[in-house]
A and B are shown apart, each in its own frame.
Chain A
């Protein structure tokens, strides 16, 4: 859905009456409309990409609300692979987690996921403080806490990953990849590129 479509939908809804809008009545909000797109024009949604917050988990189906109001059913298959701080399984996925998925849309609007990244973040930060089990991270969006976990590694000057974090210093700029604790300012750190 384009920004104009989204704004038109919200404006129409704000000025309309209360009630329930069925997914079939959402027009361009429906996943089918997205799946019907051919080549992806600049600014349009990539039909092989899905993102959003998990509202519910029913068997192997995830119902996700995306940041632009799209409701989407994401189908997990036996071939779906998962990342949540590290390679993991469907059992680690929870309601309220946020996800990015690569996969294939089907004719009925369901999204067959090939790969799902859960709560993943990739941020440019400044190291504001360094403790034994956590880093204070300055980000334009505010101060974040980065938890050092057994999987945390550092990559110094594009060298090999190491568990040695002793070369990190306050004031250094770094790129961190990790997993959010949903709806907090805390991250479990996977890799710190310094």
Chain B
């Protein structure tokens, strides 16, 4: 068993596929650490959470969450979640959609 109670193979699939995605590469310089803050599975999906600090890009610190299909490693969803500076709410950005627009 590896970290977060998942097998090495499962971690490799979930985290590796998230890290090979375009959104991850695009936001990598904003990450607090390349090590995920959390990894867990729910039914057919694995989830990977990273922290971003927005350093140097004038954006709020927040979190990125990837949903990865456990069967084939396809990235099913990727969202950035950033608190509004006022603290009144959280802004959710669809990173896959942003990738398609690029």
Contacts and interface: CB of A to CB of B under 8 A. Distances in A.
Interface of A: 6-7, 10-11, 13-23, 25-26, 53, 55-56, 63-65, 69, 71-73, 183
7 contacts: A11-B42, A11-B47, A17-B92, A19-B92, A22-B89, A23-B88, A56-B86
Interface in B68-102: 76-79, 81, 83-94, 97
Contacts of A15: 45, 67, 76-77
Interface centre among B45, B53, B78, B86 (most CB of A within 10 A): B86
B66 A183 contact: no
A50 B90 CA distance: 19
Given A7-B47, A20-B89, A69 B97 contact: no
B67 A11 contact: yes
Contacts of A26: 89-90
A65 B83 contact: yes
A18 B93 contact: yes
Contacts of B97: 18
- Which residue among A13, A14, A64 has the maximum number of chain B CB atoms within 10 Å of its CB? A14
A104 to B, nearest CB: 19
Question: Chain B contact residues: over half helix, strand or loop, or mixed?
Answer: strand
Contacts of B42: 7, 11
Contacts of A22: 88-89
B99 to A, nearest CB: 13
B60 interface: yes
A14 B90 contact: no
Nearest to B40: A7
A55 B87 contact: yes
A6 B37 CA distance: 12
Interface residues of B, number: 34
Contacts, number: 89
A180 B62 CA distance: 20
Contacts of B63: 10, 69
B38 to A, nearest CB: 7
B89 A55 contact: no
A63 B87 contact: yes
A30 to B, nearest CB: 11
Contacts of B92: 13, 16-21
Contact of B79 (A14, A25, A64, A73): A14
A69 B88 CA distance: 13
A9 B48 CA distance: 13
Contact of A55 (B60, B65, B78): B60
A102 B94 CA distance: 36
Given A10-B49, A13-B79, A13-B81, A21 B65 contact: no
